[in-house]
Homo-oligomer: A and B are copies of this chain.
Amino acid sequence: MSAPLRVALLGCGTVGSAVLRLLGEQADDLAARIGRPVEVAGVAVRRPDRHPDVPAHLLTTDAHALVTRPDVDLVVEVIGGIEPVRTLLLAAVEAGKSVVSANKALLADDGVELHAAAAKAGVDLYYEAAVAGAIPLLRPLRESLAGDQLRRVVGIVNGTTNYILSRMAETGHGFTEALAEATELGYAEADPTADVDGFDAAAKAAILASLAFHTPVTAADVYREGISAVTATDVARAGEIGCTVKLLAICERVPGDGSGEGDSVAVRVHPAMIPTTHPLAAVGGAFNAVFVEAEAAGQLMFYGQGAGGDATASAVLGDLVAVARNRVAGVAGPGVTTYAGLPARPIAETPTRYHVSLDVADKPGVLATVAAEFARHGVSIATVRQDGHGDAATLVIVTHSAPDAALSATVRALREMPAVRGVTSILRVEGLS
């Protein structure tokens, strides 16, 4: 066995520490699987004094010097965020290092540029850990399904929001209380914005859509709604129609209409009601799952831990073995293709379905008036349930699929109708047949 492959580790938080520990514990196995031993060349951190467990001679604050050092073969990045990481990884790639990253925000924003730089330098850029933690998902999309046509990728890819929504369903609590509980238990960060407002899921959706549809998709192309507006009423209404509320990342290929308009890609993150019989409905707590529909393969589901130091480190090390094997063979693995270049479809033109609950006056003709409003916007109603109580009634309506703009215009119009006392719950619905 020849000289070791030397790895620069950028960042040493929860995931970085797990990577470092596993590199040690599994050194023999990794060497056997790669064909050469792997050695840590250095660990770049901001505050070396905070890492007493890392041998002092490995620690450095100069990440740029580390990633361009001639004795470094591979770079593992688990810092997160856009800068300075973007600059560091471009420097690493230009210096001929293959890169493994867990950085969803960076890949979602600058994936095209980074892939182009890696291709030009003939090195690898892998980032399985960036989406759905330990679940093998990006490699299956990039490789296993490369002979198929993907139609949809629908996932629960954020554990914090899934925990909060699961607790709301279990306790009947509102969003604020459930968030407070999640924060107390460490499932939500002190500043939960990235999770609860859907930024984290949107970055992951952009990455999934890029790979699924061979098209460059950035976070800016993703329609995004978080869960902070989800109410206890929404969750209760979902239960009444046999559904549960989940924050979904949805990547769809929308076929052209045949009038010259070609296919487009609609990518969105928002809370939605899904039937409790849907495989994603049972994904509880901090777990992640991703449902894939492909032309030939049919329906597939991938399930596992979406976060956590060891789980994420497993994905990082899987990529590390892949890029190390390529390095030993003197090659780069297959890159990412974006040849399809499909346009992003705005949410307004994306077909969705709505659930709408209304408080109305319980008198003859109200349902007819409401139904006429849906019809006026070209929205077809799938089911209506009317429950009278005193002089008031609740109307629970689930629509068929229609352009999202038509649905939101309908809801705006309903709010203005004299017969409608209040719109008590609006959520999109997914996965109904």
Contacts and interface: CB of A to CB of B under 8 A. Distances in A.
Interface in A230-261: none
A392 interface: no
A32 B299 contact: no
A300 to B, nearest CB: 4
Interface in A284-299: 294-299
Contact of A314 (B134, B297, B339): B297
Sorting the interface of chain A by its residue count into under 10, 10 to 19, 20 to 34 or 35 or more gives 35 or more
A305 to B, nearest CB: 5
Interface string A295-315: 111111111110010110111
A143 B128 CA distance: 11
A303 B305 contact: no
B143 A318 contact: yes
A408 interface: no
Q: How many copies does the complex hold?
A: 2
A139 B145 CA distance: 11
A325 interface: yes
Contacts of A82: none
Most buried by B among A26, A140, A319, A322: A140
B149 A26 contact: yes
B305 A334 contact: no
A71 interface: no
Contact of A143 (B18, B26, B30, B322): B322
Given A296-B317, A301-B303, A311-B296, A144 B139 contact: yes
Contacts of A62: none
A331 B325 CA distance: 12
Contacts of A128: 144
Nearest to A310: B296
A40 interface: no
Nearest to A148: B314
Nearest first, the 7 A-B pairs at minimum CB distance are: A147-B317, A136-B144, A134-B297, A136-B140, A297-B314, A296-B314, A300-B304
